[in-house]
Each structure stands twice: as C-alpha cells, then as structure tokens.
Amino acid sequence: MKKFTALALSCLFAATALAQSTPDIAIIPEPVKITKHPGLYTLPKAIVVQSGQQQELNRVLDLLKEKFATATGKQILVKASAPAAAIKLVLNKKADAVLGKEGYYLSVKSTGITISANEPAGLYYGAQTLMQLLPKEIEGLKVAKGVTWSVPVVDIYDYPRFAWRGLMFDVSRHFFTKKEVMRFIDDMVKYKFNLLHWHLTDDEGWRVEIKSLPRLTTVGAYNVKREGTFGDFIPPKPDEPRNYGGFYTQDDIREIVKYAQERYVNIMPEVDVPGHSLAAVVAYPQLSATAGADKYVVRSGEKIMDWSKPGHPALVDNTLNPAGDYTYEFLDKVTTELAQLFPFEYMHLGGDECAKNFWEQSEQVKALMAKENLKNMEEVQSYFEKRLEKIVESKGKKFMGWDEILEGGLGPNAAVMSWRGIKGGIEAAKQGHDVVMSPTTFAYLDYMQSDRIMEPPVYATLRLNKTYEFEPVPEGVDAKLIKGGQANLWTEQVYNFRQVEYMIWPRALAVSESVWSPPAKKNFAAFFPKVEKQFERFDQSETKYAPSVYDPIFQVGRNPDKTIKVTLTTEVPGLDIYYSFDNSYPDKFYPKYTAPLTVPIDAALLRVITYKNGKPVGRMNNMPITELTKRAGN
C-alpha cells in the first residue's frame, strides 16, 4: 500500500511539474476549441515537413521556412511523404463542413505536429497559430540562441466567425511606401485578418496611378510637408515646394495585390468621392461645380472645413460636381483601371462627410434638382451614388460606401460600411443590404488610446477594453446580412510607419477576436494576459505597440470646499499607482494611490506612474494642474 501511495504521489508530482513547465497557451484570436494535454513536443534539429504534392501549399511552406530559418536557424526539408515528419500539412480529402474554407485542425502530439484543413488558407491560419504556440523568439529578426523550440501538446479546432475580417489603412493623409504596406499585410495576417481596405484618395493626396488621367498623380499626389497638429497648420505659401507625398504605380499595385493574395488577403480599394476629393479637383478643376477651383491646391493639413457648424460646411469646394457629365466620364475611367488592378469583388467609393454648401450655390446643381425632381442635397448625393453604382457594376464589381450613402435613398445593390456607430448598418440590413460594421464606437484606431495629455490629439479616446466590446451583429438584425467587421486607421496624425504600428497594436488584437472568435469565448479578463504575451512577441519582432492600457484614467471633480479632487483608476487590474505633486518623478517608493487626491494649493503638476508586481509598466503621465482645473469646471 505504501509503495502504491508513493508511486501515485510520484506520478502526481511528475504530472504537476510537467504541467508547470508547459508554456501558457495564449492564442489571439481565441480559437473555437482548445484541448490541452500534458507534455511538450520539441522540434528536432532537422525539421521535415510533409506536404504531399500539392503545389498550392507553397505559401504555407514559405511561411514556415521563413520563420524557422530566421529565428531558429533550422532549415526545413519538405517531402511529399514522410511518416515521421515533425510537421504534417494535410488537405482533407473529404471536406469538414464546419471548418469551411478558412478553418483548421491543429494537433500537437508528443511525436509531431499535424495541421489539417479543407483549403490552403486554413493550413495557413493553422501555421500562424503554431507560431503563437512556439516560444516568443520565433518572432525574432535573427537566430535566437539557447531556446528550446517546444510546443505544448494540444488539439485546436478552429474556424472564423466572419468571412470579412478587415483593417483599413489610410495612405492618403500621409504616403506609406510599398514595403510598408507589405509589412502592414504581414502583421495583420498573424492575427487572421483577411481584408485590407486601402484608402487611396483624399484631400491630401491621390495615391493610385490612373494612366488615362496622369495629372491625378503628377499633381494630385503631392503637397507641402507639415508636422505638428494636423488640421491646425497655416496655409502653405505659394513658393513652398510641393514635393511631399507619392503614389503607387500600377506595377506597384499589382505587386502588392499579389503579395496579399499569397497571404490569403484580399485588397479592397477606396476612392473617396464625392467629398474628400480636393486632390482630384486640383488635378482636374473641371470636376468642380465651383468657379475658381483652378486656384486650389492639394491640402497639407490646413483647415478646409468648419466642423463646428451643422453639415460641416467646406471652406474650399472639395467635392465633385454631381451635375457635371465630366464627373461621370472621370469616374468611369478611374473605375475601369481600378477594376483591372484589384480582383476583389467590392470597390469602395467613399460617400462620407460630403459638404454640400457649395452645391447649394451651384446653378448646375439647382438645374439638376429641377430636372430630376430632387428635393434636397441628400437626394442630390443619392442621385450621384446611384449613377456611380451603375458605373461600378458595369466593370463587374460590387459597390460599397460609407453609411452616408443611405441618406436620400440607397442604390439597389449597394453594400454599406457603417462607421457612425451601428445605426446605419442596422438600417441598411433592415432594407436587405449587405453590411460591414466598422463603428467609431469600437473600431477607430486613429482615436487616442489613453488620456489626451499622452497621445497625439484626435477627436476622441478609445481604450483597449472598449474596443474589445465590439460586436458586429446587433440584436434584431439578420446575421446573414452582416458580412463582418473591420477596424479603421485614418492617418491625419500618423506621420510614419512606427506610429502606424503604435496605433494599431494592441487594439487590432481586440478586433481580431471580435471578427474571428465565438462571442461566448470572449472575455477581457482572459484576453489581456494574452495581450501581454503578444507584447513580448512584438519586442522580438521590433514592432512598436502602445503601452497606453497601463496609463491611469483621470476623473476630475471638486470637493465641497471647491478644491480639485482627482480619482485615479486603471483599465486593467493588478496595477499600483504612485504619484507626486512636487515636480519630481515618482517611483514605487513614492506615495501609493489609495483614495481620491486633493490637489495641493500651489501644485503645478501631478505626475503618475503605474507598477505591476513591483516593476514599472506604465509611462510617466505628466498632468498639468491647469488641465485638471479646466476639467473640474466651476
């Protein structure tokens, strides 16, 4: 009996030790089903991959080869048949109806790894999951030494909730190079995004070569360089060089599209019309309904709209003329060439924030209203959108626009991207139209990530935990009409690619779970520890990310005696807050926040920092007392 007990205890301790040595499984987006088992599988010195003879698996093999060669120094040997292979890639002979086109089954046993799927895309996503099971050094940019390349023994059955899992990248406000766009694609596919919404035109630049309209890029792609707070710049002087910007040649576009396809990403181009079209109007002034448009210049970030007034009237006419025949001839040429460059079924034609004050003054527009019996400017835009929809469909493409295209009446086949909350998406779905949800409420990655004293100033703050609440299917809406969701990165205040990364990560991780994972498996308390694991991987890949989630939240009011009261909270649990009012830099030896603070009478600055487990994780927050006074009010 004693021997049996000792043996049982021995086995128990061994199992416990084994479990403790097993790495945490921290996969984003959360898979449909994870079944953990005891033990690890350690990759051999020579990694053999069995892939059959299917040529379509080359993209998956390329991913494995690149990752292992770069981070481990191990070369992969590919064989059509290898019973003892370390990694087996298997296309199902009989399709698994639940897995669909992008699902996969990843099985790690003590003897090896098998990834099976119905389609190569599923194998690709399974391989991306495998990367997250490996040590963080797999994301490194050079061979890591002293790492044991092991993965936990586990079974993962996984497939996406939505077919449309997008990120929007605005390259008009600031131009980003071909290599940077490719890096953007590489980063998004790690978390199973499959749609790049490419915002190619706006007031600040036209970024896609249209050979039949060369001035769009020779003139419309460049402005005067400015740095600082976008929207508040002084107007450029006539003699300042207009050499800031750039565009993608059609060969560039083809190369990027091919690069994306090889990673199972579709690219949807967006040409933003009839508003947001100043760059096009500067190139071809005959597009405007306003006299004097030939004197306009491509915007550099100076104020061109008055956002304080209803309808946000434009200070210069940045719209296309909805009554001009040339406008539709122009759009026919643009969409003809775009359709040849982008194989994706949808083409996005904007439709948002169209100022109509210049239309109201136009005799051409007034004549159009009389001829077509249009009652208001919303119906004028609807007339424009419906004509444009027919042009797009004549190229074999489907038409999509922002939710403003609902105003005045939606075209018969138009799909709607809902950005002003979810109301427009609900309305479009109730009318039987396809919808993609990308509401500012949850999915606008240009918004500040913590307090405005810490972030480039934009319109609002959107913290990680709020982004994680994103639910693309509202109650009472036919889920079949919700194609999926996406997050949008506008780049007015994003001047370089490092800031692109900072704005996207980690909030895009939250969006990835909203569009891939089952709703029942979403849990922020479980999600954030996984985010912290991704931070370690970002460090390895030298990807910039925002630590804003660690920044405190300032709530300001007044005590009964009118002194200022500051309440500090944190977005995530487990943080300690330390502070100072004496202009010095606090650390963990300073006063610890335990209750609301009263600002001392002569204090000029409140400094705050957060710690976790005795180590600083947050940034030094410098809050001027003048700012607290402003927020406290009277």
Instruction: Supply the residues annotated as catalytic.
Output: 353
Find the helix packing angle between 507-516 and 524-541, rounded to 10°. Answer: 120
- Cross-strand partners of 223: 244
Burial label for 192, CB within 10 Å (0-12, 13-18, 19+), is: buried
DSSP conformation letters of 36-57? EEEEEEEPPSSEEEE-TT-GGG
In the numeric block, which tokens belong to residue 341? 């460059």
Q: Comparing C-alpha atoms, which of 627, 195, 5, 136 is closest to residue 184?
A: 195
Pairing of strands 112-117, 87-91: parallel
- Cross-strand partners of 166: 195, 486
DSSP conformation letters of 182-250? HHHHHHHHTTT--EEEEE-EETTEE-B--TT-THHHHTTTEE----SSTT-BPPPPTTS---EE--B-H
Place of tokens 């389609």: 119
Place of tokens 């001047």: 495
Contact 157, 507 (CB under 8 A): no
Q: Comparing C-alpha atoms, which of 28, 12, 78 is closest to residue 50?
A: 78
Distance CA 102, CA 397 (A): 24
By residue count, the chain amounts to 634
Q: Comparing C-alpha atoms, which of 456, 619, 509 is closest to residue 192?
A: 509
CA count, 13 A, side-chain hemisphere, 311: 12
Q: Is the peptide bond before 285 cis (omega within 30 degrees of 0)?
A: no
Q: Residue 477, SS3?
A: coil
Distance CA 361, CA 28 (A): 52
In the numeric block, which tokens belong to residue 471? 């639910």
Q: Which helix (H) or strand (E) holds 278?
A: helix 278-283
Could you give the strand order of the β-sheet that contains 104-109, starting from the edge strand earlier in sequence? 33-42, 150-158, 104-109, 112-117, 87-91, 47-50, 76-79
In the numeric block, which tokens belong to residue 160? 């996406």
Q: Comparing C-alpha atoms, which of 51, 64, 45 is closest to residue 130?
A: 64
Which DSSP category does 267 fall into? E
Which DSSP category does 155 fall into? E
Find the helix packing angle between 120-133 and 58-71, rounded to 10°. Answer: 20
Q: Comparing C-alpha atoms, which of 364, 359, 360, 368 is closest to residue 387?
A: 368
Contact 284, 241 (CB under 8 A): no
Q: Which helix (H) or strand (E) holds 189?
A: helix 178-189
φ/ψ of 413, rounded to 5, equals -120, 5
Contact 395, 420 (CB under 8 A): no
Q: What is the CA radius of gyration of the chain?
A: 27
**H helix and E strand count, the chain:** 18, 26
Distance CA 514, CA 190 (A): 15
